[in-house]
Amino acid sequence: EIVMTQSPATLSVSPGERATLSCRASQSITNKLAWYQQKPGQAPRLLIYGASTRATGIPARFSGSGSGTDFTLTISSLQSEDFAVYYCQQYNNWPPLTFGPGTKVDIK
Protein backbone atom coordinates (compact mmCIF):
# COMPACT_ATOMS: atom_id res chain seq x y z
CA GLU A 1 0.00 0.00 0.00
CA ILE A 2 1.27 3.46 -0.85
CA VAL A 3 1.24 5.75 2.19
CA MET A 4 0.66 9.44 1.57
CA THR A 5 1.89 12.11 3.99
CA GLN A 6 1.15 15.84 3.97
CA SER A 7 2.85 18.77 5.59
CA PRO A 8 2.26 20.91 7.43
CA ALA A 9 -0.83 19.67 9.24
CA THR A 10 -1.99 23.26 9.61
CA LEU A 11 -0.91 26.30 7.63
CA SER A 12 -1.81 29.77 8.84
CA VAL A 13 -1.83 32.30 6.04
CA SER A 14 -3.04 35.86 5.61
CA PRO A 15 -5.42 36.66 2.74
CA GLY A 16 -3.45 37.63 -0.35
CA GLU A 17 -0.42 35.62 0.68
CA ARG A 18 0.97 32.56 -1.05
CA ALA A 19 0.37 29.10 0.41
CA THR A 20 2.55 26.09 -0.33
CA LEU A 21 1.32 22.64 0.66
CA SER A 22 3.41 19.48 0.42
CA CYS A 23 2.49 15.86 -0.24
CA ARG A 24 4.83 12.89 -0.25
CA ALA A 25 4.30 9.30 -1.38
CA SER A 26 6.01 6.32 0.20
CA GLN A 27 7.13 5.18 -3.26
CA SER A 28 7.05 6.63 -6.75
CA ILE A 29 3.61 7.34 -8.12
CA THR A 30 4.88 9.03 -11.31
CA ASN A 31 2.40 11.91 -11.81
CA LYS A 32 -0.72 10.05 -10.68
CA LEU A 33 -1.65 12.52 -7.97
CA ALA A 34 -4.83 14.48 -7.32
CA TRP A 35 -5.55 17.36 -4.95
CA TYR A 36 -8.92 18.08 -3.36
CA GLN A 37 -10.33 20.96 -1.34
CA GLN A 38 -12.91 20.34 1.36
CA LYS A 39 -14.86 22.93 3.32
CA PRO A 40 -16.79 22.12 6.51
CA GLY A 41 -20.00 20.22 5.86
CA GLN A 42 -19.27 19.86 2.14
CA ALA A 43 -18.07 17.09 -0.13
CA PRO A 44 -14.51 17.41 -1.41
CA ARG A 45 -13.88 19.22 -4.69
CA LEU A 46 -11.28 18.13 -7.23
CA LEU A 47 -8.67 20.82 -7.84
CA ILE A 48 -5.79 19.12 -9.64
CA TYR A 49 -5.18 15.76 -11.31
CA GLY A 50 -2.14 14.36 -13.07
CA ALA A 51 -0.13 16.32 -10.49
CA SER A 52 -0.47 19.59 -12.41
CA THR A 53 -3.66 19.71 -14.50
CA ARG A 54 -6.36 21.96 -13.10
CA ALA A 55 -9.85 20.50 -13.06
CA THR A 56 -12.66 22.26 -14.86
CA GLY A 57 -13.54 25.59 -13.32
CA ILE A 58 -10.59 25.76 -10.94
CA PRO A 59 -9.02 29.22 -10.76
CA ALA A 60 -5.50 29.74 -12.08
CA ARG A 61 -4.25 30.71 -8.62
CA PHE A 62 -4.19 26.97 -7.84
CA SER A 63 -1.22 25.13 -9.30
CA GLY A 64 0.29 21.72 -8.77
CA SER A 65 3.76 20.41 -9.37
CA GLY A 66 6.00 17.43 -8.72
CA SER A 67 6.51 13.86 -9.80
CA GLY A 68 7.78 10.64 -8.33
CA THR A 69 7.35 10.99 -4.58
CA ASP A 70 7.23 14.73 -3.86
CA PHE A 71 4.41 17.05 -4.82
CA THR A 72 3.33 20.61 -4.12
CA LEU A 73 0.05 22.50 -4.27
CA THR A 74 0.50 26.25 -4.47
CA ILE A 75 -2.21 28.83 -3.98
CA SER A 76 -0.67 32.00 -5.32
CA SER A 77 -2.81 34.57 -3.51
CA LEU A 78 -5.19 33.24 -0.91
CA GLN A 79 -8.78 34.34 -1.14
CA SER A 80 -11.28 34.08 1.71
CA GLU A 81 -12.97 31.14 0.03
CA ASP A 82 -9.71 29.16 -0.05
CA PHE A 83 -9.56 28.54 3.68
CA ALA A 84 -10.28 24.82 3.85
CA VAL A 85 -8.69 21.42 4.22
CA TYR A 86 -6.65 20.09 1.30
CA TYR A 87 -6.06 16.41 0.58
CA CYS A 88 -3.73 14.70 -1.85
CA GLN A 89 -4.52 11.26 -3.29
CA GLN A 90 -2.46 8.80 -5.29
CA TYR A 91 -3.93 6.66 -8.06
CA ASN A 92 -0.81 5.10 -9.55
CA ASN A 93 -0.85 1.85 -7.61
CA TRP A 94 -4.18 0.53 -6.40
CA PRO A 95 -6.08 -0.97 -4.74
CA PRO A 96 -6.16 0.68 -2.40
CA LEU A 97 -6.49 4.24 -3.58
CA THR A 98 -4.96 6.27 -0.76
CA PHE A 99 -5.32 9.80 0.53
CA GLY A 100 -3.03 11.94 2.62
CA PRO A 101 -4.19 13.06 6.08
CA GLY A 102 -4.86 16.60 4.91
CA THR A 103 -3.53 20.11 5.44
CA LYS A 104 -5.80 22.67 7.02
CA VAL A 105 -5.30 26.19 5.69
CA ASP A 106 -6.61 28.72 8.15
CA ILE A 107 -6.58 32.46 8.56
CA LYS A 108 -3.54 34.00 10.20
Residues that bind another protein (CB under 8 A): 32, 34, 36, 38, 43-46, 49, 55, 87, 89, 91, 94-102
User: Nearest-CA neighbor of 53 among 38, 35, 68, 37?
Assistant: 35
Name the residue nearer to another protein (CB basis): 21 or 89.
Answer: 89
Contacting residues for 95 by C-beta, under 8 A, at least 6 apart: none
Work out how close the CB of 93 gets to another protein at its nearest, in angstroms, rounded to a whole number: 11
Work out how close the CB of 69 gets to another protein at its nearest, in angstroms, rounded to a whole number: 18
Name the residue nearer to another protein (CB basis): 65 or 77.
Answer: 65
Integer angstrom CA distances of residue 1 from 20, 73, 83, 93, 95: 26, 23, 30, 8, 8
